[in-house]
Structure formats: structure tokens, C-alpha cells
Amino acid sequence: MPEMFANAIGYEQLMGRWSVRLAPLYTAFAQLRDTGKILDVGCGTGSLVKSIAAKTRESEIVGVDPGQSFVDYARTQFNDSRITFQVGDAMQLPFPSACFDQTLSLLVMMFVPQPEKAADEMRRVTRPGGTVSACTWDRDGLELSSIFWEEAVRLEPGADARSQRPKHSNREGQLTALWRSAGLQDVKETVITMQLPFTSFNDFWDPHLRGVAPQGAYVATLSEERREALRQGLRKRILGDRPDGAFDLRAKALAVRGKVPH
């Protein structure tokens, strides 16, 4: 799985631009406070850090991600002494216990091989009384993804089975169960909805050619003929008989928060 997150710029073009739009909605639900130290687990290219930095003035912000290319890219996006980035694994966070006041994670839990370990680690590094939260795309509520896979399966019935599409932590109730199993209290889950605007079909399709995320990784395995068939099928699915132009796709995310017991 790491190879499909090796291209930071490609990820920005495919999903990063939507992470930036989702992040403020998520941080509002997470009840972000401008106090102490804040950890972003799986910071990627820095979409969530950007939102946190915009809403705080005093907090120290730390982003951690397993991808060196993502960490390197994120470091180029900020010039703020409050913000630092480092390489690290969500299932074994490189921090002492109880050293953060708030721990957040945006669009990461569904890709972690053992999400229970990540939830336990997020709790461990958060002080008693601190908030731990996470947000993921809903598996069937993100049209950008669901339309892609429906069309891929129509053309190749085994496409979804051999894809690296996430299969956990992305359906309603799963994050709540995960947070409760980690011993967090006052657990609340919510649904966040938004629109993803595209200027044209190529604005939708071209980022899939970068080899990033499950969709891009799948496209990279296709022959030129199969890739073109998928492109044409998606174009027909999205635009129908209309000429190329702007369109919106729906997006549904799931967010959870809880507190570390005293």
C-alpha cells in the first residue's frame, strides 16, 4: 500500500484539494481548541495542519506521516515556527505518553492495517481529558470513488476484489466502535456532507493517471485499451450526452471524537 501514497503532488491533485475543503468542517466537529500541543496523525501533504493553523495562534502543531515524500512536501508548505513534521507510523507513534492536548486524524484510519492499534496509540499520546478524533470518507458516500469503482467493476467484474480500496473504518458506526474499544469516553460520531466541484471531465480524470490512492493504483495496472474504455465509461456516466463542462459530485464523510478518561 505505501507505493500508492508515494507521489505527494499526484495525491494533492486527486484527493488533497478535497481534504482542504473537508478539514474545516471536521475541525469544527472535533471541537478544536487553541491550547497546548496538537497532533495530526497521517498528516499527508498538510491539509489538516493548514486548517488547524488557521484556527489557532498559540498551539504547537505536529504532523506525522509514514511517507517521507509527504513529510518533505508538507514542510515546504508552511513557514510557521509552531508547526513541525516528522516521519512516523500511526500504529507506533514516536511520542511519549500523554504529551498532546488534542490528537486528530483526517482520511487515514481506513488505510491503517490495524486501526485498533492506531486508536490505542492516539489515546496513549493524548493527556487525560484531552480529545481524540478522526474523520474518514464514507465508503459508499464519496461519489468520486463510488462512481469510479462501479464503472471499473462493470468493465471488469473482479476489479473491486483486486483493488486496494479500504474495507474498514469507513461505514457508519465503525469509528464509534473503534473509539469505544480504545477506552475513550463521551464518544460522538457525525456525518459531514459536501460537494466536490469539477471544472471539466479531465479535471476529474487526469489525477487518476498519477498512480496514487486506490483508484490511481488500479488505473496504473490497466492496458491502454482498458484504460481508455474506463475513461469513456466514466465520461458517459458523469456527463451523459451533455458537452463537457463543470459538474459537482457529492461527498459524505464520517467523523468521531472522544475524550481520554482521567
Which CATH number belongs to the domain containing residue 177 in this structure? Answer: 3.40.50.150
Amino acid, single-letter form, for residue 251? A
Closest by CA position to 203, among listed 14, 12, 20, 21: 14
- pLDDT tier, 160 (very low <50, low <70, confident <90, very high otherwise): confident
- pLDDT tier, 13 (very low <50, low <70, confident <90, very high otherwise): low
Task: Name 22's Cβ contacts closer than 8 Å, sequence gap at least 6.
Answer: 47, 106, 107, 135, 192, 194, 251, 253
For residue 193, pLDDT over 90 is answered with: yes
> What is the pLDDT at residue 164?
64
Q: What are phi and psi of 128, to 5 degrees?
A: -55, 135
Domain that holds residue 211: 2-259
pLDDT digits (tens, 9 = 90+) for 97-128: 999 999 999 999 998 999 999 999 999 999 99
Does residue 73 sit in helix, strand or coil? helix
Give the total number of structural domains in the chain: 1
pLDDT digits (tens, 9 = 90+) for 63-84: 999 999 889 999 999 999 999 9
pLDDT digits (tens, 9 = 90+) for 237-247: 999 999 999 99
Full-prediction pTM beyond 0.85?
yes
Closest by CA position to 42, among listed 232, 184, 200, 169: 169
Q: Which residues face 134 on adjacent strands?
A: 256
Q: Which of 2-11, 109-118, 220-229 has the lowest mean pLDDT?
A: 2-11
For the chain, how long is the longest CA-to-CA vector?
A: 60
